[in-house]
Chain A
Amino acid sequence: MIELQGLTKTYAGKNVVEDVSMTLETGEFGVLIGPSGCGKSTTLKMINRLVPLSGGRIILNGDDVTELPAEQLRRRIGYAIQSTGLFPHWSVARNIATVPQLLKWPKSRIDDRVDELMAMFHLDPAEFRHKYPHQLSGGQAQRVGVARALAADPEVLLMDEPFGAVDPITREALQAEMRRVHRQTGKTIVFVTHDMDEALQLATRIALLNGGRLVQYDRPIEMMVKPADDFVREFFGQADLGLKLLSRRWVHQYQRPPSLAHHATLPGLDHCWRLDDAGRPIVLEGARLDDQHRHTDVRAEWIATPEMSMKEALSRMVWYRVMVLPVVDGTGKLIGEVGMQGIMGIESDGGLHAGEPAS
């Protein structure tokens, strides 16, 4: 648990962070967000005292951070940054082992831990252990950076815009990986970003800062449906709030059993799936907006998976002009379907809490 109490930072007589108070429970994924210069990075860096506090207190699991020796404190806290900060003269394995070595773990324990972390981030130890940072792609380097931050099993993980410098596709993959790692490890994470979509993808709590002050601190959905003021409303972007809500919801919450016989999609339209011997969908009959396509071959581009966000599912429906998407499992077997109608009909399903980490 991290408690910030009246946190203040003054540079040259100006408060860049002013009286910020918030509490992040153990296991939460807290995201600090706001326009540039709002003090989100400074706030983060005060937690591991890379930036000294001007006022207020930070309590980490009951300890006042200013009362601990800075180096000792930092070894209890993982830290990952945008430029990765990997040491170019050390191999991937040695980079990951940085903090365990500082803590003088025995060698065999370090080796085991490095292998474990590399497996967690899908980096094949045989291939990557002895590589150097300059031999990695941006996404791989960032994975190593996060693995290094987690190496000594820290109480808290701080991440300062870690995915800000990678391309959009890699960023999405890293975000998905981060959600999984958070689920697997149950770590308390404080994450700084300026990208609202990223915040909505990851956060269980969002803190919106502006001009050094904390404007609102809440669950993501509540920030959207109950903004504290116009700034929050504007920052979250009124225009596609509906889509943003869908980006916090997952296909598995909306899917229903597949119709293997003709079933009414909309009044006047009906559809059914044809499967191959392995149970994989191959043809969709009906459910198209135009009557010319009675039979549509199922294509990989418009298949949904249970973990996909509803925003993505909706996008596929619109782009490929189909009213329903097949939901398949890892082997490609049809396990359900999700349709236009379903998107409208979920309100009663406790949607406000959708997107909390599945326990």
Chain B
Amino acid sequence: MSGAARSARPLRAASAGNGVLLILIALLIALTLGMAQLEPLFRALFPDLGNPLYARDSFLNLMLAHIGLVLVSSLISVTIGIAAGLFVTRPVGREFEPMVSSLAAIGQTFPPAAVLAIAVPLAGFGFTPTIIALSLYGLLPVIQNTIAGLGTVPQTTLEAARGNGMSRWQILRRVELPLAMRVIIAGIRVSVIINIGTATIGSTVGAKSLGTPLIAGLVGNNLAYVIQGALLVGLLAIVTDLLFERLERRYAFGV
């Protein structure tokens, strides 16, 4: 995916109702806590497997580790990304704006899995390279959408704010950021969704996540493990996406 289509996102998928979201959240929690209760089902589905339930770690631990990875990396991306986006849209940093924009656009053509792999020689195996790769990669959509969002604030609105005697800081806080927020959140949404996916592959470089049972299942030819991991991580992604959609809508001022 490249930037243009993302920042614009003119087409909102029809939003699922509150009911659908609640059911999905309940399902996510129930499966995380109660996967073990489904053992008979998996045994029936895969009679050939000796061990049809991933048991090396609890699914709750895996889920928390996965969310932790995404949360930490997303916090880093969002903080740095918004700060960078603000810097290049102020008079001091405007000179850097074209460079930063094209860097963000080019960077997003890099496949996330390849970025993750390149982090290994730099930072070794485990949690750290995954966090580095996720933060770096997640940074790009946030920067891009911060710049785009601040750019959508109409010049006339800014003039009116200046004309009413607001200081630069007040203009930023009361006018620009609220108006840009929807687009910025759309960027964070893209960033978080990509990170949920990439964190899954993080288990190949030794970071614990929901990808751990999935990859273990692929390597050990255990389809039940694969389904258990895929189901949970898929649900997590969908629920997160729907929550972000709701958040975005809150900032749609008649747009």
Q: Is A in direct contact with B (CB under 8 Å) within the complex?
A: no
